[in-house]
Structures are given as C-alpha cells and as structure tokens.
C-alpha cells in the first residue's frame, strides 16, 4: 500500500469521526443564523453591525430569510423591538424591498394593530442609541403604519423625522394623507396639504386624487370642488380622471343638476373631453334614480359630441324606461339607435324582453319574444333560455313551445342544446297536458342528441305514459335515458 494512500485514508477517517465540526460549519454559513446572532447581541447600533456582517460574509437577504427572523423575534418579548428594527433595516437594502405581503406578515407577527406603540418604541430606540437613519428608514416605518391603518401614529412618525433632520418627501406625506382620508379625517388631511406647501412640496396627482376620492365617496362635493380650486391656484389643471371622479361622486349622491354643470365644464375643456364611459356612467346614475327621461337628454348631448351609443348604453336606458313603465319611449329609442346603425335590432329587443321579465311583466315579455320570431329576429341566448323556460312552465303555452321548437329546431339548436333543463321541462309539461305523441317525439329527439331525462323528471314522465297505457313509449324513454 502506498504512503499517500495511507495518509488519504487516515485523513478521511479523522474527518468522518468528527461530525460536530461539519454541523458547526453549516450553522455558521446559514444567513439566518448569522443575522440572528447580530439581533441577539443587542448592539446599540444594530443596523451597522448587520450591514458589516452582511458585507463581510456576503450574506443573502431574501423574503424567506426575513420572514424566518421576524417570526423568531416576535415569539419572545425581549427580541420584538430588535426584530422590528431588523425588518426596517432589511427593507432599505437594495435587493430586499418589502412588498405588501411582507408588511402584512410583519404587522401580524409584531401585533402592530393591537400594539401601535411598537412603532414609537422603534423610533425612540433610534434616538436613544443615536442610530444613523435616513428617509428610506422612515418610509418603511410609514408603510408599516399604512398596512396597520394607523393614521395618528403615521402623523407622529412624519413629525418625528424633523428630530433626525430629515425632510419628508411627497410620497411620505401621501401615505399619511391617505390614512386620514380612509378614516374620514379630512380636516387633518387638508392641514397636511397646506403644510406641504410651506416646505416647498407641492401636492402631486396622487395626493390630490387620494383626497378627491375620499371627499366624493362621502358625498362632500363642495370640499371636492375646493380641491379643484387649490390645484388651479398652483398652476395645474385637474386631469380627465379627476373630473370623472368628481362627476361620478356628484351623480352617486343625487345632485344630478350639478352633474350637468360638471359635464358642461368637461365639454368646454379640450384636453379632457368626455368619453363614452363618461356618458355611460351618467346615464346609469340617472336611470337608477328613475330619471330615465333626463338620461335621454344625456344621450342627445353624447350624440352631438360625435359619439354613438353602444349596446351597454342602450340596454341601460331600456332597463330604466321599462322600470318607469315608459314603453312608448323604449320603442322610440330602439328605432333611433337601430336606424342609425348603432345597435342591432335583435340586441335591443333581447334587452327589452329581459327588462320586462325583470320587473315581472311576463306576458308583455312573452309578446315581444314571439314578435321577434315573427320578424325573423334571433333573441340573445340567455334571454331565449329564460323566456322559453317560462313559456314551458305555463301549461297553456306548452304546445306553442313544442311547435316553436320543431319549426325552429335548426335555428335554436345553438341556444338550447347545452341547456339540459329546457327539454325535461317541456317533456314533463306535454305529459301533464296529455300530449303523449309529442312528448314521445321529443324524448326521441333528446335521445338522438344525447340529452337524457334524469331523476324525478324521468320518473314523472315514465309514470304519465304508464298511467295512459302507453307502456311501449314508457319503455322506449327508459331505454333512451338509461341506455
């Protein structure tokens, strides 16, 4: 045996007999354990120690690592502040920007909602330990406030930045303003907007839109209008989205007369011309408040602006007019949009049938439904299924449904082949009326197209045939449905 081989064997045996060394090495090279050591030491300048350890050891810092460490820290009272400081430090590292999921995990782990003072404890620890912090540090803290919906604590953090000689920026203010808006504390939000101007920070679109959304949601239209004046004084013009938000807020809270004023203002500004969506929203709000006749005047304005009504607008108006029992205006509307080539006639009448059924006018709906077939119009698939089922359930209409089905089978195939309810309902209805020949033909037609009677419906239909002495038909239907 050669000497080199003996030395290699001896070396190998020594390594294998000392497993504790290998485990220790693994523990040291684990990033989580390295960071955990720094946290446990409780260095007054923990952030600096973490940075040095990370650079020297070239440690990774990913979300799973952060989540593991904050879970450990949150489990014991003595490590909670240090754990929160670690989370904040990790959030300012270039390769570890926290997303909303991580902020949610941190808030739950450190129970910030139940213990908002945890935020203040961290900031105070920076003061006591003379820690080096920057604007990004405070933004991570503010985002924790945002996730926990802590408006007052967010304002406290914003004010505390001055003690560290850090000037808040517009996004920092936006976070706190949004928090106050969410709690309907608009007085505080407005104060912050004015404060921004005093330190040469001009509220941007995000700030303005945040406040505008809040005011409009609560119906505080006058306050929303004041925001427009503030923006105009700053030499900026509200954009299309801002006007749309205002218009929607005005309509939503019932001041429909002022809605026309806002619409006129938009129409007079070339850069924010109303779109089809703008007119659609207004028409919907007017119809919902049973003012569909006035909604028609909006349609007039829309067409004058060069925009043609679409199917959504037409359906909305039809629903509103039917709800107010103004059928004469419905037909005028249909003639108007169809003549101009804006919407198909079949689409209009399908919407009318659906609207009549919705308000319980089944006879009127059925009448329009039949008229459509007489005029060679094909109803919308869903409208057809609903109308046809209602007719099938009416004993006086069962034979009419059967004849319609037989006469239009090729046309209706696409609408009813995938609906497994129509055929059983019609078959059952024919049996109840004693039309066994028609019921048998329908059952055979179902078999040819792999549609089967099932459950109670099958039992009911077979029972009808047996009671009528039609044993052969009963047997045939069983064979089709069970074969």
Mean pLDDT calculated for residue range 191-208: 85
Q: Which of 33-47, 159-173, 403-417 has the lowest mean pLDDT?
A: 403-417
87: closest CA among 114, 105, 60, 111? 105
Q: What is the rounded CA–CA span in Å between residue 333 and residue 222? A: 36
Q: Which two tokens stand for residue 154?
A: 């967010």
Domain boundaries, the chain: 22-168, 423-483
CA distances from 31 to 22, 243, 327, 370, 373 (A): 16, 52, 74, 75, 74
pLDDT, residue 462, reads 80
What b-and-e string marks burial along 226-265, b requiring 16 or more CB atoms within 10 Å of the CB? ebbebbeeeeeebeeebbbbbbbbbbbbeebebbbebbee
Query: How many Cα neighbours within 13 Å face the side chain of 415?
Result: 19
Of 158-172, 250-264, 433-447, where does the model show the most confidence? 158-172
Q: What is the rounded CA–CA span in Å between residue 470 and residue 168? A: 88
CB 402 within 8 A of CB 430: yes
Helix/strand/coil percent split, the chain, to 5:
75, 0, 25
Instruction: Flag whether pLDDT at 1 surpasses 50.
Output: no
pLDDT, residue 407, reads 67
65: closest CA among 54, 49, 76? 54
| Tens digit of each residue's pLDDT (9 = 90 or more) over 17-63 | 444 333 333 344 588 998 998 888 877 888 888 999 888 888 889 89
pLDDT, residue 55, reads 87
Mean pLDDT calculated for residue range 430-437: 81
Mean pLDDT calculated for residue range 402-425: 64
pLDDT grade, residue 451 (50/70/90)?
A: low
| Tens digit of each residue's pLDDT (9 = 90 or more) over 134-151 | 999 999 999 999 999 999
| Tens digit of each residue's pLDDT (9 = 90 or more) over 217-226 | 888 888 888 8
pLDDT, residue 336, reads 95
| Tens digit of each residue's pLDDT (9 = 90 or more) over 239-281 | 888 999 999 999 888 677 888 888 888 888 877 888 899 999 9
Q: Which of 102-116, 257-271, 405-419 has the lowest mean pLDDT?
A: 405-419
What's the alpha-carbon Rg for the chain, to the nearest Å? 36
Mean pLDDT calculated for residue range 387-404: 79
318: closest CA among 359, 379, 369, 277? 359
Neighbours of 39 (CB within 10 A): 20
224: closest CA among 194, 245, 207, 251? 245
CB 182 within 8 A of CB 149: yes
pLDDT, residue 426, reads 82
Q: How many percent of the chain have pLDDT more than 70?
A: 89
pLDDT grade, residue 6 (50/70/90)?
A: very low
pLDDT, residue 450, reads 66
Query: How many Cα neighbours within 13 Å face the side chain of 109?
Result: 24
Question: For all residues of the chain together, what is the average pLDDT?
Answer: 83
pLDDT, residue 405, reads 72
Mean pLDDT calculated for residue range 5-10: 39
Q: What is the rounded CA–CA span in Å between residue 279 and residue 302? A: 7
Mean pLDDT calculated for residue range 447-475: 75
Reported in sequence order, the residue ranges of 250-333 that DSSP labels E, i.e. its strands, are: none
Neighbours of 14 (CB within 10 A): 9
Instruction: Flag whether pLDDT at 325 surpasses 50.
Output: yes
pLDDT, residue 26, reads 38
Mean pLDDT calculated for residue range 454-460: 75
Q: Map tokens 């808040």 to a residue.
A: 168
pLDDT, residue 17, reads 42
């Amino acid at each position: 045996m050669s000497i080199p081989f003996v030395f290699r064997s001896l070396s190998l045996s020594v390594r294998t007999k000392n497993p504790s060394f290998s485990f220790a090495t693994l523990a040291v090279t684990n990033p989580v354990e390295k960071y955990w050591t720094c946290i446990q030491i409780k260095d007054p300048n923990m952030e600096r120690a973490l940075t040095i350890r990370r650079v020297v050891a070239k440690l990774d810092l990913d979300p799973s690592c952060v989540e593991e460490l904050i879970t450990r820290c949150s489990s014991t009272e003595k490590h909670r502040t240090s754990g929160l400081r670690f989370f904040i430090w990790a959030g300012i590292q270039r390769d570890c920007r926290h997303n909303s999921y991580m902020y949610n995990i941190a808030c739950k782990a450190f129970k910030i909602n139940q213990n908002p003072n945890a935020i203040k404890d961290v900031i105070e620890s920076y003061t006591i330990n003379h820690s080096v912090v920057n604007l990004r540090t405070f933004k991570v803290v503010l985002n924790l406030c945002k996730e926990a919906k802590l408006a007052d604590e967010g304002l406290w953090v914003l004010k505390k930045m001055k003690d560290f000689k850090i000037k808040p920026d517009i996004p920092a203010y936006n976070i706190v303003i949004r928090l106050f808006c969410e709690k309907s504390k608009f007085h505080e939000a407005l104060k912050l907007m004015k404060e921004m101007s005093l330190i040469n920070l001009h509220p941007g679109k995000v700030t303005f839109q945040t406040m505008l959304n809040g005011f409009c949601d609560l119906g505080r239209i006058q306050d929303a209008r004041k925001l427009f004046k503030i923006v105009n004084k700053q030499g900026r013009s509200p954009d299309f989205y801002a006007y749309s938000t205002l218009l929607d807020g005005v309509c939503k809270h019932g001041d429909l007369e002022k809605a026309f004023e806002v619409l006129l203002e938009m129409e007079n500004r070339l850069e924010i011309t109303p779109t089809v969506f703008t007119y659609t929203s207004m028409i919907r709000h007017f119809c919902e408040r049973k003012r569909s006749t006035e909604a028609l005047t909006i349609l007039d304005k829309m067409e004058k602006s060069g925009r043609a009504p679409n199917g959504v607008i037409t359906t909305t108006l039809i629903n509103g007019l039917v709800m107010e029992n103004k059928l004469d205006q419905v037909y005028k509307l249909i003639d108007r949009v169809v003549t101009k080539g804006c919407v198909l006639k079949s689409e209009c009448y399908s919407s009318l049938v659906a609207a009549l059924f919705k308000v319980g006018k089944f006879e009127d709906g059925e009448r329009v439904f039949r008229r459509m077939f007489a005029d060679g119009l094909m109803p919308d698939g869903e409208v057809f299924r609903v109308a046809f089922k209602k007719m099938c359930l009416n004993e006086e209409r069962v034979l009419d449904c059967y004849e319609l089905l037989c006469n239009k089978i090729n046309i209706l195939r696409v609408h009813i082949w995938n609906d497994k309810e129509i055929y059983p309902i019609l078959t059952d209805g024919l049996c109840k009326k004693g039309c066994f020949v028609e019921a048998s033909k329908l059952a055979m037609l179902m078999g040819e197209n792999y549609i089967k009677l099932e459950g109670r419906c099958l039992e009911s239909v077979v029972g009808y045939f047996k009671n009528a002495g039609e044993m052969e038909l009963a047997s045939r239907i069983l064979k089709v449905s069970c074969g």
